[in-house]
Structure 1
């Protein structure tokens, strides 16, 4: 049994992990109170990477720059003062992953990490085509790569943030139901191919517009193929701007037609599933100087109020895909200082346990 402790920078790790057996059924995942752990050693992850206490701390750094993600993350960890226990990366189509650099990051004895990989497996085809087997060769080739090169547990997101690409038109191949069938087919194929170390995450956008759509519930592919429920959500630090608010606003966005927010939906409809904030960040317009400290200070109180949240993963970039949002934690000295204070919390002292 390999137990790797993910604490503040400079902590010691354990030995390299050994091969893992298939995890239990996804339906066994549980949500237990996320009280601060008495010690890092006592707060361990289970077979589905759910911490018994505390919250996994993670990041994707480098954003849309050309800097390799492993180098960007190491620099981000140095700035923020804590190892990102969850290392978030992105792949698409025929990519074979984990890559050598990703594998090296998760086998760093002094800085133990677990991968969170977004895979756009549907690259070049529709969701309906994937569900009918159009990319089975792609899936099988990737599965052979994983079986040959990587035995550690890792998080796998299949086609994150599907909402904006839903087309409910007849024959589009991109309906919400098509997405659910695609997701289920991919995971069932992966498992049939002998990949049992992939812990699945379904990552929603969770915005007001999409939550109100009559098809939104149809995106869910079933508890048997979903281990964690994920949310990608951001807030603005500029008063009066769209989505201005703190960490609670990020979690509680509700349908424009009324009703409960995303966190309430996840914990009510799927009470046995841990929740991952798979992408989060605080932004302001590029070129502005705005203090993000209040937003960063709002994180810990909300995590203590919401025990189903078992992981938060920051997306750091100083220039987003649209070229108008700075989501970096160090856009000002006061913002970075507040984020570093957040990073020191013992709530994030979690031991990665890979039996």
Structure 2
């Protein structure tokens, strides 16, 4: 964003341009003004989550911290919250197979009266098996054990089944990992949880949304049906390092479209009439490059103002990713951290858990 636009946005946000709505603005200035108005509305309204954890106004703020380390996730999240300056209302954690979760530490984080949080539990349910077998009922004991635990837990939580399924598809007949097998696994698991009396799970279908995968003929087959999907999720990142893979700003991670042309992810998801969660996002640079991430963080509020279907954003913070060469941390440079703290302080994220 140009410096003049940032200045105008800051002035509107602080109320110094009160009454200027009658003045004609360029589209970019209108977007900045819209972001300011949305922030102000969130600041002055009692934003609270409803039955499906959709906020009545504003946007839910969340994080997964300490990725690809052996440190406890709750400890890492608290440190990240202190660093960023805001409590992560959504606490994102990851599990697989028969792991017993939510864990004691996860539950404790959601019962902290001073810092209310809601869990986003990511579960690779087919671990040690495959999607087709789960869909046929071969892991029903696993599902039932989870159902008993979350019913005892009692609080509402977000549930992601096998995030980023595109990366796991084996497009070969009978592989057990076809896109249609994912959809069947998803339907079976949610329907069985409901049959077992689970009413506190809010389901999030979290795509990778990479343009390569969206161009595949099987991509549309991943969707399991409106009746078993509560939110549409996206795990997507941008590079802050000019010239590197997926260089861009916040809008770029939302608008990726199939190679060869087609509808971008946000527009596709919006047509599903579901709330959208950016379930993982971040700005990265290669380790050792120290590119400034401030332009990415500064672009978030204006983009949210233009995209009302987005109801939650969840940052994934790590100094070293699963590929071993990308830094997605918010404090890789002083200017990056300063910009992120300003973003975190925005009133739009003042949402209470209902």
- TM-score > 0.5 by shorter chain: yes
| Residue aligning to 2:9 | none
What is the 5 A alignment of 1:59-74? 59-74=63-78
- Equivalent position to 1:228, from 220, 226, 231: 231
Q: How many angstroms does 1:40 deviate by?
A: 6.2
Q: Distance in 2 between matches of 1:35 and 1:83?
A: 20
Q: Do the aligned partners of 2:240 and 2:284 also contact (CA within 8 Å) in 1?
A: yes
Partner of 2:348: 347
Q: Which residue of 2 aligns with 1:286?
A: 287
Structure number with greater CO (CA < 8 Å, separation at least 6) is: 1
Deviation at 1:307, TM superposition (A): 0.1
What SS does the aligned partner of 1:138 have?
helix
The answer to whether residue 111 in structure 2 is matched with residue 144 in structure 1 is no
SS of residue paired to 2:94 = strand
The correspondence for 1:208, drawn from 211, 220, 236, is 211
Structure 1 residues 236 and 176: CA distance shift in structure 2, 3 A = same
Q: Distance in 2 between matches of 1:194 and 1:310?
A: 27
For residue 240 of structure 1, report the CA deviation from its aligned partner: 0.7
The 1-side partners of 2:52 and 2:38 are apart by 19
Whole-angstrom CA distance in 2 between matches of 1:241 and 1:81: 30
Matched, 1:173 2:176: yes
Q: Pairwise mapping of residues 1-355 of structure 1 onto structure 2 (< 5 A)?
A: 35-36=38-39, 37-39=41-43, 42-148=46-152, 150-268=153-271, 270=272, 272-353=273-354
Superposed displacement of residue 39, structure 1: 3.8
Give the SS at the match of 1:352.
coil
Q: Helix, strand or coil for the counterpart of 2:352? A: strand
Asked if structure 2 preserves the Cα contact closer than 8 Å seen for 1:41 and 1:351, the reply is no
**How many residue pairs get matched?**
318
Q: Is the contact made by 1:119 and 1:158 (CA closer than 8 Å) also made in structure 2? A: yes
Q: Alpha-carbon deviations, 1:29-71, whole Å to 9, x = none?
A: xxxx993335466111110000011000000000101110000
Question: Would you identify which runs of 4 or more consecutive aligned residues in structure 1 move more than 2 Å?
Answer: 33-41
Q: Assess if the C-alpha contact under 8 Å between 1:40 and 1:349 holds in 2.
A: no
Change (3 A) 1:76 1:38: closer
Residue 100 of structure 2 aligns to a residue in which SS? coil
Question: After superposition, what is the alpha-carbon deviation per residue over 1:211-258, rounded to whole angstroms, capped at 9, x for unaligned?
Answer: 101111100000100000000000000111110000000000010020
2:109/2:117 contact within 8 Å kept: yes
Give the structure 1 partner of residue 17 of structure 2: none
SS of equivalent to 2:114: coil
Rounded to whole Å, the distance in 1 between the matches of 2:323 and 2:127 is 21
**Do the aligned partners of 1:40 and 1:350 also contact (CA within 8 Å) in 2?**
no
Give the 3-state SS of the residue equivalent to 1:350 in structure 2. coil
- Provide, for residues 96-137 of structure 1, a one-character-per-residue CA deviation record: whole Å limited to 9, x for no partner: 211000000000011110000100000011110000001000
The TM-score normalised by the length of structure 1 is 0.88
Alpha-carbon deviation of 1:169? 1.1
Distance (Å, rounded) in 2 between the aligned partners of 1:161 and 1:205? 5
Q: CA deviation at 1:259?
A: 1.2
User: For structure 1, which runs of at least 5 residues remain unmatched after alignment?
Assistant: 1-32
Q: CA 1:169 to 1:43, structure 2 compared with 1: closer, same or farther past 3 Å?
A: same
- What is the alpha-carbon root mean square deviation over aligned residues? 1.2
Distance 1:35 1:194 in 2: 38
CA 1:40 to 1:73, structure 2 compared with 1: closer, same or farther past 3 Å?
A: farther
Secondary structure of the structure 1 residue equivalent to 2:321: coil
Max Rg structure:
2
